[in-house]
Amino acid sequence: MRIASLRAALVIAALSLAGCGAGRVVTHPSAGTGPSAGTGRPATSSPQAHPQVIEPAAGQQAAAVTPADPVGDVHAHAPSLVQVRSELRLELVAARVTNAAYIDPLQYVDVWERTDQGVDAVLPVGSPILAPCIVKVLAIIPNWYAGQPLVYFELLNGRYAGQVQYVAEQITSIAPAGTILQQGQPIARFAKSGTAIEYGWSTLSGVTLARATTGYEEGQVTPAGRLMRNWLNALGANAGPS
């Protein structure tokens, strides 16, 4: 299913207001490593999450990030959209839709947070964000928000083959652009400090699907974010209502 189909799905999703979870600094004690590569199943030494769902009141705003917060160089500038778009298209694969199944990429979540452009969550430090299927890492923006990175990756099989997803903010150990990962291998890991993570749908234009379809204002729950939460729940994430 292509971007047009995703946009059609967004049309039927209701719009409502809620806070954006990207502003709060999160710090965790060290935790174990993630699942075995390629399996998507937790290893015995992996952190065992006890997910909770937090749905803030509509319009609630997150705390502002200041330069003193340990989240990276807040004065750094992200690459231009022209550069990002070029990087994405250079790495894109002509992937065909298949019957392959996806796995939950966020198996170690401690706390599910709000829906905005994507879905926000907190994990134990070092926990992996898993490839939901075979994926190709397309591009990395090192300072997408408050000096924190974003990584784009393409799904290479399954119903959404050819679609682009992203994970951003409190991540480290990101697989390099051009890397092809097998299902269950780590795309990135949850960093020691930052503003939690955001996982969502993207486009080849270098902007999130939320901004490309309905736009996004700080404090909005977007149809694209709801679509992602529903997708995660369909994979057994127990991420709470959208």
Q: CATH number for the domain including 210?
A: 2.70.70.10
- At residue 81, the pLDDT reads 61
Express each pLDDT in 22-31 by its tens digit: 444 444 433 3
The DSSP line for 124-191 is: -BT-EEE-SSSEEEEEEEEEEETTEEEEEEEE-SSTTTT-EEEEEESEESPPPTT-EE-TTSEEEEE-
| Residues 125, 137: Cα–Cα separation, whole Å | 22
Reply yes or no on whether the pLDDT at 85 is more than 60: yes
Q: Which domain holds residue 173?
A: 51-56+72-234
Residue 63 lies in a domain: no
Task: For residue 164, list its beta bridge partners.
Answer: 154, 202
| Residue 99 contacts residue 115 (beta carbons within 8 Å) | no
Reply yes or no on whether the pLDDT at 52 is more than 90: no
Residue 141 lies in a domain: yes
Residue 77 lies in a domain: yes
| Residues 53, 161: Cα–Cα separation, whole Å | 29
Give the model's confidence band at 105: pLDDT under 50 very low, under 70 low, under 90 confident, else very high. Answer: very high
| Residue 179 contacts residue 137 (beta carbons within 8 Å) | yes
Residue 11 lies in a domain: no
Cα dihedral: 58, 59, 63, 65 (round 10): 120
Number of domains present in the structure of the chain:
1
Give the model's confidence band at 207: pLDDT under 50 very low, under 70 low, under 90 confident, else very high. Answer: confident
Of 116-120, 131-135, 219-223, give the lowest mean pLDDT range.
Answer: 219-223
Instruction: Count the neighbouring beta carbons within 10 Å of the beta carbon of residue 128.
Output: 26
Strands 171-172 and 186-190: antiparallel
- Residue listed under structure tokens 């780590």: 186
- At residue 48, the pLDDT reads 42
52 token code pair? 């909770």
Residue 121 lies in a domain: yes
Query: How much is the average pLDDT of 201-209?
Result: 86
| Residues 88, 102: Cα–Cα separation, whole Å | 22
151 token code pair? 């990584």
Element (H, E) at 87: helix 81-91
Residue 36 lies in a domain: no
Residue 184 lies in a domain: yes
Residue 4 lies in a domain: no
- At residue 86, the pLDDT reads 66
| Residue 120 contacts residue 221 (beta carbons within 8 Å) | no
